[in-house]
Chain A
Amino acid sequence: MGNISYQDVTKEFNDGAIVAVDDLSLEVEDGEFLVLLGPSGCGKSTTLRMLAGLETVTEGEISIDGERVTGLEPRERNVAMVFQNYALYPHLTVEDNIAFSLRMNTDLDEDAIREQVVETAELLDIQDLLEKKPGALSGGQQQRVALGRAIIRDPSVFLFDEPLSNLDAKLRADMRTELTRLQQELGVTSVYVTHDQSEAMTMGDRIAVMNDGKLQQVGGPNDVYDHPANEFVAGFIGEPSMNFLDVRFDREDGPRLTTTGDGGSFVYPLSEAVADRLGVSDGARLTLGVRPEDIQVDVEATGASGRAQRTTVDVVEPMGSDSFVYFDVDGTVWTGRTDRIDRQPGSELVYEFDESALYLFDEDGETIKSIGTGEGSFHRETEEPLVQE
Chain B
Amino acid sequence: MSERQATDGLVPRRVREALPYVVLGLYALWTLVPLAWMSVSALKRRGDIIQLSFVFEPTLKNFRLVFFESGVPGFLFNSVLVASVSALVAVFFGTLGGYALSRSDMRGKKHLAFWIISTRMAPIAVAIIPLFFLFTRLNLLGTYAALIIAYSTFNLPFAIWMMRSFFDEIPESIEEAALVDGATRWQAFRKTLVPLVAPGIGATAIICVVFAWNDFLFAFMFSNQDTQTIPVSAAQQIGQEGIDWGIVMATGLVILAPMVAFGMIVREYLVEGLTMGAVKQ
Chain B residues lying within 8 Å of A135, measured Cβ to Cβ, are: 280-281
Interface pair B196/A75, CB less than 8 Å apart: no
Once A54-B176, A73-B184, A75-B184 are accepted as A-B contacts, the answer to whether A91 and B281 lie under 8 Å apart by CB is: no
B179 close to A53 (CB less than 8 A): yes
Contact A134 B281 (CB under 8 A): yes
- The residues of A that contact B28 with a CB separation of less than 8 Å are none
* B174 CB–A CB distance under 8 Å: yes
In angstroms, how far is the closest chain A Cβ from the Cβ of B84? 25
Min distance, Cβ B191 to any Cβ of chain A, angstroms:
8
Complex Cα distance, B171 from A83, in Å, reads 11
CB atoms of A85 and B180 under 8 A apart: no
A83 touches B184 (CB 8 A): no
Given contacts A90-B279, A91-B195, A135-B280, contact A101 B171 (CB under 8 A): no
Is A225 interfacial (CB 8 A cutoff)? Answer: no
A209 within 8 A of B: no
Q: Judging by beta carbons under 8 Å apart, are A52 and B196 in contact? A: no
Contact of B281 among A87, A100, A105 (CB under 8 A): A87
**Contact yes or no, B183 A104, CB < 8 A:** yes
| A104 with B187, Cβ < 8 A, contacts A83-B173, A89-B192, A153-B181 known | yes
Is the pair B176, A83 in contact by a Cβ cutoff of 8 Å? yes
Could you mark each residue 268-281 of chain B with 1 if its beta carbon is under 8 Å from any beta carbon of chain A, else 0?
A: 00000000000111
Q: Are A75's CB and B180's CB within 8 A?
A: yes
Bound complex: CA A79 to CA B196 (Å): 25
A90 engages B281 (CB within 8 Å): yes
Report A347-372 CB contacts with B as 1/0, cut-off 8 Å.
00000000000000000000000000
User: Is residue B124 within 8 Å, beta carbon to beta carbon, of the partner chain?
Assistant: no
- Interface mask (B187-217 → A, CB under 8 Å = 1, otherwise 0): 1000010011000000000000000000000
Instruction: List the B side residues contacting A153 at CB < 8 Å.
Output: 181-182
Whether A74 is near chain B, meaning CB under 8 Å from some CB there, is yes
Known contacts A104-B187, A135-B280, A142-B281; A87 and B182 CB within 8 A of each other = no
Interface centre among A52, A73, A105 (most CB of B within 10 A): A73
The answer to whether A75 and B177 have CB atoms under 8 Å apart is no
- Decide if A80 is an interface residue (CB 8 Å cutoff): yes
Judging by beta carbons under 8 Å apart, are A75 and B182 in contact? Answer: yes
**Interface magnitude class on chain A:** 20 to 34
**Size category, B interface:** 10 to 19
Q: Is A81's CB within 8 Å of the partner chain B?
A: yes
Taking A85-B173, A90-B196 as contacts, is the C-beta distance between A80 and B183 under 8 angstroms?
A: no
- Asked if B259 is at the interface (CB within 8 A of a chain A CB), the reply is no
Q: In this assembly, does B266 line the interface, its C-beta being within 8 Å of a C-beta of chain A?
A: no
Q: Which listed residue (A75, A91, A149) contacts B183, Cβ 8 A?
A: A75
Q: Is the CB of A73 within 8 A of B179?
A: yes
CA A87 to CA B184, docked complex, whole Å: 17
Report chain B residues within 8 Å CB of A234.
none
Q: Is A79 in contact with B195, judged by CB distance below 8 angstroms?
A: no
| Complex CA distance for A59 and B181, rounded to whole angstroms | 26
User: Would you give the 0/1 interface string for A74-100, flagging 1 where the beta carbon is closer than 8 Å to chain B?
Assistant: 110001110111111111000000001
B181 and A104 form a contact (CB under 8 A): yes
The A-B contact count (CB < 8 A) is: 74
Question: Is B253 interfacial (CB 8 A cutoff)?
Answer: no
Interface string of A118-149 (1 = CB under 8 A from B): 00000000000000001100000010000001
Does B131 touch A at the CB level, under 8 Å? no
A99 to chain B, nearest CB (A): 10
Collect the chain A residues with CB atoms within 8 Å of residue B173's CB: 83-85, 87
The verdict on B178 contacting chain A, using a C-beta distance below 8 Å, is yes
B281 in contact with A74 (CB, 8 Å): no
Enumerate chain A residues within 8 angstroms of B171, measured Cβ to Cβ. 85, 87
Q: What is the CA–CA distance of A159 and B176 in the complex, to the nearest angstrom?
A: 13
- A79, A89, A135: most-surrounded residue (chain B CB, <10 A): A89
Interface contact B182-A105, CB-CB below 8 Å: yes
- Bound-complex Cα distance A73 to B183 (A): 10
Among B178, B181, B187, B280: residue with most chain A CB under 10 A: B181
A81, closest chain B residue (CB): B180
The chain A residue sitting closest to B187, CB to CB, is A104
Q: Which residues of chain B come closer than 8 Å to A75, judged between CB atoms?
A: 179-184
Residues of B within 8 A of A73 (CB): 179, 184
With the chains together, A91 CA to B280 CA distance in Å? 10
Shortest beta-carbon distance from B270 to chain A in Å:
19
- Other than the given A80-B180, A81-B180, A104-B182, 6 more pairs (CB < 8 A) read A75-B182, A84-B173, A88-B281, A91-B195, A105-B182, A153-B181
Q: Chain A interface (Cβ within 8 Å of chain B)?
A: 52-54, 73-75, 79-81, 83-91, 100-101, 104-105, 134-135, 142, 149, 153, 159
The 6 closest A-B pairs by CB, nearest first: A104-B182, A87-B173, A101-B181, A87-B177, A105-B182, A135-B280
